[in-house]
Structure 1
Amino acid sequence: MSILKYPLFVSDIDGTLVNQMKKIPDANKETLAAFRHHGGLFTLATGRSYIEAKHFIEELEIRIPVILCNGALIYDPSTDVLSPMATIEREIIFNTLVELEKRKEVLDIFVYTLDRVYATGISSFSRSAIEEGEFPLELIDTFDHIPQVPLIKLVMVSKEETMQQFRKWMLQVNHPLELVQSADYYFELLPSNISKGNAVRSLAEKMDLTMEQCAVIGDHLNDLSMVEVAGISAAVANAHPQLVQAARHVMPSNEEAGVAHFIRRHLLTTTPQAQGQ
């Protein structure tokens, strides 16, 4: 049994756990190992699909469920099972796609399923952000060719100068979906009530932990829901201003191993009962 005050720690990946080279700094690995040595449980909460997150899951030898696609998917390493928390009805997806394809500010649209990502094209802007060999993209002539499989989320790519205009339009559209900005140029449409925060809450319940015993860290607006519900939270210094304001603590940037600083300063602390033993 863990004697840590916050036995469950959940971290975002991009912009948080990894640096600009998409590598996990050694300091982060070392402090995570110390956290787990003291009985801590660690996992990831990311907007990435399983294939995109797989090498981080393996590198860190994560053994508890991983939150993928901003809470829409859960991967359990102990059983090697990928489970959707919710899906989007095909009719809703296609009605939304019709409207999105009319918007000039939308550069690319990606439709996520359990194990594939579908698009009718990809701009050089999006291509430059894709990690070679780790993005399960399948280009199709029309979205009508998407197989009859569960549909997990929509991702829209738009340049920063048109992002605000796009956001205003999306908030006016009548659809039963969750809208979240996951990066400076990425908006996502998720099934209703799906978020990283709700996924962390569900994970804590399965582990017989309260939200007060959970620690989280992130960098963007898709991390806001878990920052708002966790017992202790942090934003890296490079985080979106709204997340910096919402988080209890602000750590050094992802380039300076902010995750390691958070663990050392706040998570390697024991419960009052343990301190008195």
Structure 2
Amino acid sequence: MTIKLVAIDIDGTLLNSNREITPRVKEAIKKANDQGVYIVLCTGRPIPGVENFLQELDLYKENDYVITYNGSLVQATKSKEVISEYSLPYEDFLEIELMARKLNVHLHMSDEQSIYTFNRDIGKYTVHEAYLVDMPLRYRSVEEITPEIKAIKMMMIDEPEILDEAISKIPECFKEKYTTVKSTEFYYEILNKEASKGNALKKLAAHLNIPIEETMAIGDNENDLSMIEAAGIGVAMGNATDSVKAAAQVETASNDEDGVAEILFKYLD
């Protein structure tokens, strides 16, 4: 099968446990690029959290694209042309913030410039996220968040056992109103209903006139499920969750065993 576009998750997929892109993975991505295959980083991170990897992989050329915020934003890397964008209206921000308070879990919100927390006792996983994606962290009261601030995604964050208990108490009508994904054991992400990695992959493929059957998606966690199910070939990393492995057609090696390189060399030789 001809593969013309490969969507690759970052954390737990592209990066090894040391948060590095190994030389073999770089070699495989360069080979795919040289063959004219679109390599698209597809991540829950915001743009500032992926720029160094785009530079490292030389994915800032005219025809390069990136999918960020778990599919909320699809854009060209060089020109910044937006292919699709889904944000959360101000009324949704208020509803999500109220839900987090009722559940007594930490919450933060991201726009394109900053991460905002509304908790005076700032959660350690919010600090971790700001460090990981290289974005400024700002405390704001709910009253200081005005409708002009464009919320791209919101995250309930807490210790895994606290977060799991809170999620179990969220009404189904709330979950049906949004796209909700548990991207790690301590992150529960809430997005516009139209936003997902799978929908973003479909939008980008259509923009590039690439049949979805000629796409590949590689991932490891729950937020990768939609793109693995949408792609022509869905690939689970060796370190992927059981649900991702069940949804994928193919399994590759783990992120510490150059799994991305293994699958690219297999299909692109």
Q: Same fold by TM-score, threshold 0.5 exceeded?
A: yes
Aligned pair 1:127/2:127, yes or no? yes
Cα distance in structure 2, aligned partners of 1:130 and 1:90: 22
Q: Which residue of 2 aligns with 1:93?
A: 93
Indicate the RMSD between aligned Cα atoms, in angstroms: 2.0
Structure 1 counterpart SS, 2:210: coil
Aligned pair 1:137/2:137, yes or no? yes
Count matched residues.
Answer: 262
Report the CA distance shift for 1:21/1:146 in structure 2 as closer, same or farther (over 3 A). farther
Q: Which residue of 2 aligns with 1:192?
A: 193
User: Which of 47, 59, 63 is 2:56 aligned to?
Assistant: 59
Report the CA distance shift for 1:221/1:171 in structure 2 as closer, same or farther (over 3 A). farther
Q: Which residue of 2 aligns with 1:264?
A: 265
TM-score where L is the length of structure 1: 0.88
Structure 2 counterpart SS, 1:170: coil
- Equivalent pair of 1:11/1:44 in contact (CA under 8 Å): yes
Structure 1 counterpart SS, 2:134: coil
- Equivalent pair of 2:198/2:226 in contact (CA under 8 Å): yes
Q: Which residue of 2 aligns with 1:24?
A: 21
User: Which of 107, 111, 119 is 1:113 aligned to?
Assistant: 111
Q: How far does residue 247 in structure 1 lie from its aligned partner after superposition?
A: 0.7
- Equivalent pair of 2:115/2:136 in contact (CA under 8 Å): yes
Structure 1 counterpart SS, 2:11: helix
Cα distance in structure 1, aligned partners of 2:135 and 2:44: 12
Larger mean Cα displacement after TM superposition, 235-244 or 93-102: 93-102
- Equivalent pair of 1:84/1:152 in contact (CA under 8 Å): no
TM-score where L is the length of structure 2: 0.90
Q: Which residue of 2 aligns with 1:156?
A: 156
Report the CA distance shift for 1:84/1:202 in structure 2 as closer, same or farther (over 3 A). closer
Q: Which residue of 1 aligns with 2:174?
A: 174
Cα distance in structure 2, aligned partners of 1:152 and 1:244: 28
Larger mean Cα displacement after TM superposition, 123-132 or 199-208: 123-132
Structure 2 counterpart SS, 1:256: coil
Q: Which residue of 2 aligns with 1:210?
A: 211
Q: How far does residue 162 in structure 1 lie from its aligned partner after superposition?
A: 3.0
Identity %: 28
Cα distance in structure 1, aligned partners of 2:73 and 2:192: 11
Q: Residue type matched to 1:49 in 2?
A: P
Cα distance per residue 1:57-82 (max 9 Å; x no partner): 12112132210001111231231346
**Unmatched runs of 5 consecutive residues or more in structure 2:** none
- Equivalent pair of 2:73/2:85 in contact (CA under 8 Å): yes
- Equivalent pair of 2:123/2:157 in contact (CA under 8 Å): no
Q: How far does residue 127 in structure 1 lie from its aligned partner after superposition?
A: 2.9
- Equivalent pair of 2:8/2:42 in contact (CA under 8 Å): yes
Q: How far does residue 164 in structure 1 lie from its aligned partner after superposition?
A: 2.9
Cα distance in structure 2, aligned partners of 1:244 and 1:163: 24
Structure 2 counterpart SS, 1:48: coil
